[in-house]
Every structure is written in structure tokens, then in C-alpha cells.
Amino acid sequence: MPSYKVSYFTFKGLGEPVRFMLAYANVDFIDNRVEWEDWPKLKPTLPLGQLPLLEIDGRAFHHCIPICRYLGSIFNLTGSNAVENYEIDCIADTVNELRLKIAMWYYSYKRVKNEKYDELINDSIPYYLGKIEDQAATKDGYLALKGKTTWADIYAVAIFDYIHDLMGYDIVKDCKNIKKIQQKIMSADGVKRYLKNRPADQIITFN
């Protein structure tokens, strides 16, 4: 049985999809949460000076989406052909675009945050959520492939969980089709076990 170790900061961020992937697959893993004060010493030792980092039997894997895609191939959470895998990638990238817009707002200084808030709430979030919800409606509550959970579903649910913290509310609360896959992932035995023991976040903010 391979040994897995996930290294990321002391909050959800881009480490959470990797943690969710392993939890959903009922795989035990070391959840190495890096304190901010330890980051300057750790950074030069990493392949690209970035987290998350997944180590499998000592081999290092980096970048969140490629890691999730790789784990998806191991855990049978990919498509059966190139077109299906394209659909999976599209959903993951769409969710990531939304995450980027929200993260850029959240981690900005207060003056910039105040200026950008209305645009985020009234334009960016409704636009992306509308596209994702419409897609889920055509897939019976899955995000990429009808009737099959994929790594993009797990990635999206973990990212929405992180976004909840950044925005201070559940942005998908009125998205009934996104909620279907969210409930499915969150109720999986391994994920429930992980969530029960998950440490509280320590999120970095700027004034």
C-alpha cells in the first residue's frame, strides 16, 4: 500500500482538493499543515517553491489540478475517453477561474476589497455559478459526466468549501444541482471521517 503525504498551509486553499481526493478514496494520508513562519525555510526545498505538495512513497507531485487529475486516474475517477476527460478538465478549470477571482479579491488590501466587492457579488460569482449550475443540470447533479463521480466533482466541492470561508457564506446554497454533488461528496465515508477530524483553519488576511 503506497504511503501518501499532503503538505499545505494551515487552511483549506489549494491543499483541500488533494485532501478531499484521498479522503474520498478512503486512503490514509499524512496531513502535514505548514505553519506560515516555517514557510521561508521550506520554500527553497520544493520543486517549484510551491504548495500543495503530494508525496507518494517519497515521490513529489506538485500543482493542485494535475495532482487531482493524477489521483483521479489512480482511483477510477476519470472519463472513459478523451472527450470525457476534456469535459472533466473544463469543469475543473471553470471552478478554478471562479476561485481565482474570489481569492484575488479576498487577499487584496482592504481598500481594493471594498472597491471590488460589488463587482464580485453582482457579476463574477453569478456568472460562473450560473454556467456551472447549468452544466450540472444536464448531468443529473454531476458536474462533468452524467451518472459518474469524477475528480472534478471532488475538486469543485473542496474549492466551494474553501470559498465558503473566504466569502463568509455558502455561495452555492441556491444551486440545487451543484448541491446534489456537494451532498454526495460530503456524505462519502472517507470524507465524513476527514471532516470530523479536520483542524480549524488559520487563514492569512491583509489589512
For the residues 12-19, what does the mean pLDDT come to?
A: 97
- Distance between CA atoms of residues 54 and 60, nearest Å: 6
Give the pLDDT confidence of 101-138 residue by residue, as tens digits: 999 999 887 777 888 899 999 999 999 999 999 999 99
pLDDT at residue 24 in the model: 98
> Which positions ≥6 away from 174 have C-beta within 8 Å?
none
Grid look-up 457564506 returns 169
pLDDT at residue 201 in the model: 86
| Least confident range of 8-17, 80-89, 101-110, 155-164 | 101-110
- Distance between CA atoms of residues 170 and 30, nearest Å: 28
The residue ranges of every structural domain in the chain are 4-76+190-197, 82-188
Mean of all residue pLDDT scores within the chain: 94
177 contacts 141 by C-beta, under 8 angstroms: yes
pLDDT at residue 6 in the model: 98
pTM for the whole structure = 0.94
Q: Confidence band (pLDDT; 50, 70, 90) for 32?
A: very high
* 4-76+190-197 shares its CATH topology with 82-188: no
Assess whether pLDDT exceeds 80 at residue 167. yes
Taking domain 82-188, whether its CATH number is 3.30.70.1350 is answered by no
Give the pLDDT confidence of 53-107 residue by residue, as tens digits: 999 999 999 999 999 999 999 999 999 999 999 999 999 999 999 999 999 999 8
Assess whether pLDDT exceeds 70 at residue 205. no
Taking domain 4-76+190-197, whether its CATH number is 3.40.30.10 is answered by yes
